[in-house]
Amino acid sequence: MLRDTTINMKRTKVKEVLQTEPSGQEVLVKGWVRTKRGNKYVTFIAVNDGSTINNIQVVADMTVFSEESLKEVTTGASVSVVGTLVQSQGKGQTVEIQARTVEVLGTADPETYPLQKKGHSLEFLREIAHLRPRTNTFGAVLRVRHAMAFAVHQYFNQKGFFYIHTPIITASDAEGAGEMFRVTTLDPVNPPKTETGEVDFSEDFFGKSTNLTVSGQLEGEVTAMALSEIYTFGPTFRAENSNTSRHLAEFWMIEPEMAFYELEDNMELAEDFLKYLVRYALDNCMDDLQFLNDMYDKELLPRLNFVVENDFQRLTYTEAIEVLKTAKQKFEYKVDWGTDLQSEHERYLVEKHFKKPVILTNYPKDIKSFYMKLNEDGKTVRAMDVLFPGIGEIIGGSQREESYEKLVTRMREMGVPEKEMWWFLDTRRFGTVPHSGFGLGFERLLLFVTGMGNIRDVIPFPRFPKSAEF
Ligand code: ATP
Ligand code: MN
């Protein structure tokens, strides 16, 4: 109820109230109590409604209010407050509300409310994911998450890219990006079988075996062959059992795909895009970022500013291997030309050697996907990974193989089922053009922008092995 009909007033959000010049006007504020303190004469109630990290201080004159009437005003309770907006006497805030009425909408028993005290560990908060949005930390993370999603759309819209909704249920498991989650309506106990004893997916809902998508890229390529510049931004699913601080089983990915772009253009877009997003956060989320900086990571703001102001280091995979081989640091995994880089290698390049974001290109074809464009050397493909401090890979992309013959050859070499991919191959048969694209993991971006250390703390309801409670 935005308008309180009994007093005929409209609710004002705390963010707006805090920016209002007080001139004796009455305001109606609704939110959740963060703290209550005071003495015989006065009670201070800090109210937060999530519109900003900052609370509004409500002051109750105890010559007017009885102890009894404020008994249920406890941490976590929801309240509706009417009062006069005045210049604050205390420090830490500019305005406060001199309360006329304080109504408790919903109580929160101090004996059982889990967020009674401040300073819970992030691990503990993960176990109460349904309540953690009420903490300063998760309020900040969720507001930044919103701002970044908005900025993604704004960036592409300004550039004339079209937002394409690619399917979440797919039949192609050819992308090879990881283990997939099955989608089926067959009876798990007694599924229909073929004569040879295998599960008969022709009886399944879609008449074939289907999965949750690991990427919207293939469908993105198809639409870019008509609309030139497109992007997808949706959930992706990987059933890989990687219990790391950088992997989720369900995460959001942004995947632009551009006709007529070569690898250079792709790198330029990726760098410009990332800088735009970080700059947007600095320009629009300063209260939240300042809090995260002060609370968790004093280097956060300097790091964000650094990324915006400096060019990314570009080098080839082959050059990177040379750097790693001559590095003084001991690595757990050995590096040799042809092996995939581990996170420790990526982070060494970014954090120790170049001390800035890195774009690595031209990886060996055997460690990359079938659709990447083969270089003249016949050994490397036009891949590009963007590596960020504290994270490692934040973007993976490439120029795509536009030649029908070369693509089919790569598919055969890598055992990708050509027959099922007939629709994808059609793009190379009819009006094929050079094109490129990449995937930015939205939560990896948020790890960087918020400075949080664990990817489970930058999504409201994380999905990871053995965890889907909330
Ligand atoms: P990694 O090597 O880090 O596991 P990947 O090479 O498997 O990643 P891609 O298939 O290239 O990832 O996906 C594109 C982007 O999606 C990655 O650069 C990363 O930002 C993000 N990403 C990939 N897997 C996950 C995951 N399980 N959870 C969150 N983000 C992910
Ligand atoms: Mn990758």
User: 60-82: per-residue pLDDT in tens?
Assistant: 999 999 999 999 999 999 999 99
How close is the Cα of 374 to the center of ligand 2, in Å?
17
Measured distance CA(459)–CA(429) in Å, rounded: 41
**Amino acid letter for position 208:** K
**Residue from 403, 440, 453 nearest 217 by CA:** 440
Q: Which ligand is nearest to the CA of 256?
A: 1
How close is the Cα of 324 to the center of ligand 2, in Å?
19
pLDDT, tens digit, 9 for 90 and up, residues 379-412: 999 999 999 999 999 999 999 999 999 999 999 9
Q: Is 348 in the pocket of ligand 1 (CB under 6 A)?
A: no
Q: What is the pLDDT of residue 175?
A: 61
How close is the Cα of 238 to the center of ligand 1, in Å?
9
> What is 113-145 written as a DSSP string?
-TTSSS---HHHHHHTTTTGGGSHHHHHHHHHH
**Quick one: tokens of 327?**
């590095």
Q: What is the pLDDT of residue 90?
A: 75
Judge residue 188's burial from the number of C-beta atoms within 10 Å of its C-beta, 0-12 exposed, 13-18 middle, 19 or more buried: exposed
Q: Is 396 in the pocket of ligand 1 (CB under 6 A)?
A: yes
Q: Is 238 in the pocket of ligand 1 (CB under 6 A)?
A: yes
Q: Which ligand is nearest to the CA of 215?
A: 1
Lowest mean pLDDT segment, chosen from 57-61, 92-96, 172-176, 361-365? 172-176
**How confident is residue 117, by pLDDT bands cut at 50, 70 and 90?**
confident
How close is the Cα of 142 to the center of ligand 1, in Å?
21
Q: Is 424 in the pocket of ligand 1 (CB under 6 A)?
A: no
Q: Which ligand is nearest to the CA of 255?
A: 1
Q: Which ligand is nearest to the CA of 360?
A: 2
Most informative mutation of 444, 446, 449, 458 for ligand 1 (most atoms within 8 A of CB): 444
Which CATH architecture is the domain 14-106 placed in?
Answer: Beta Barrel (2.40)
Q: What is the pLDDT of residue 118?
A: 83
Average pLDDT over residues 137-142: 98
Residues with a beta carbon under 5 angstroms from ion ligand 2: 396
pLDDT, tens digit, 9 for 90 and up, residues 405-418: 999 999 999 999 89
Average pLDDT over residues 454-462: 97
Identify the residue whose C-alpha is closest to ligand 1 atom 20.
441
Q: What is the pLDDT of residue 241?
A: 76
Please state the domain extents for the chain: 14-106, 132-179+214-457
Q: Is 177 in the pocket of ligand 1 (CB under 6 A)?
A: yes
Lowest mean pLDDT segment, chosen from 147-151, 153-157, 205-209, 413-417? 413-417
How close is the Cα of 196 to the center of ligand 1, in Å?
37
- What is the fold, at CATH topology level, of the domain defined by 132-179+214-457? BirA Bifunctional Protein; domain 2 (3.30.930)
CA distances from 182 to 167, 197, 210 (A): 14, 19, 6
Measured distance CA(355)–CA(299) in Å, rounded: 14
**How confident is residue 262, by pLDDT bands cut at 50, 70 and 90?**
very high
Measured distance CA(331)–CA(68) in Å, rounded: 64
Average pLDDT over residues 212-223: 96
Q: Is 45 in the pocket of ligand 1 (CB under 6 A)?
A: no
- State whether the Cα torsion 184-187-190-194 is positive or negative: negative
Taking 70 as the threshold, does the pLDDT of residue 193 lie above it?
yes
Q: What percent of the chain has pLDDT above 70?
A: 97
Identify the residue whose C-alpha is closest to ligand 1 atom 21.
441
How close is the Cα of 363 to the center of ligand 2, in Å?
11
Q: Is 439 in the pocket of ligand 1 (CB under 6 A)?
A: yes
CA distances from 128 to 107, 112, 123, 132 (A): 19, 13, 9, 6
User: Pairing relation of β-strands 3-4 and 9-10?
Assistant: antiparallel
How close is the Cα of 215 to the center of ligand 2, in Å?
11
Q: Is 247 in the pocket of ligand 1 (CB under 6 A)?
A: yes
How close is the Cα of 373 to the center of ligand 2, in Å?
15
Identify the residue whose C-alpha is closest to ligand 1 atom 9.
396
Identify the residue whose C-alpha is closest to ligand 1 atom 22.
441
Q: What is the pLDDT of residue 152?
A: 99
Q: Helix, strand, coil: what percent of the chain each, to 5?
A: 30, 25, 40
Beta bridge partners of 255: 232
Q: What is the pLDDT of residue 269?
A: 98
Residue 470: CA atoms inside 13 Å, Cβ hemisphere, count? 14
**How confident is residue 430, by pLDDT bands cut at 50, 70 and 90?**
very high
Taking 80 as the threshold, does the pLDDT of residue 272 lie above it?
yes
Taking 80 as the threshold, does the pLDDT of residue 172 lie above it?
no
Identify the residue whose C-alpha is closest to ligand 1 atom 15.
441
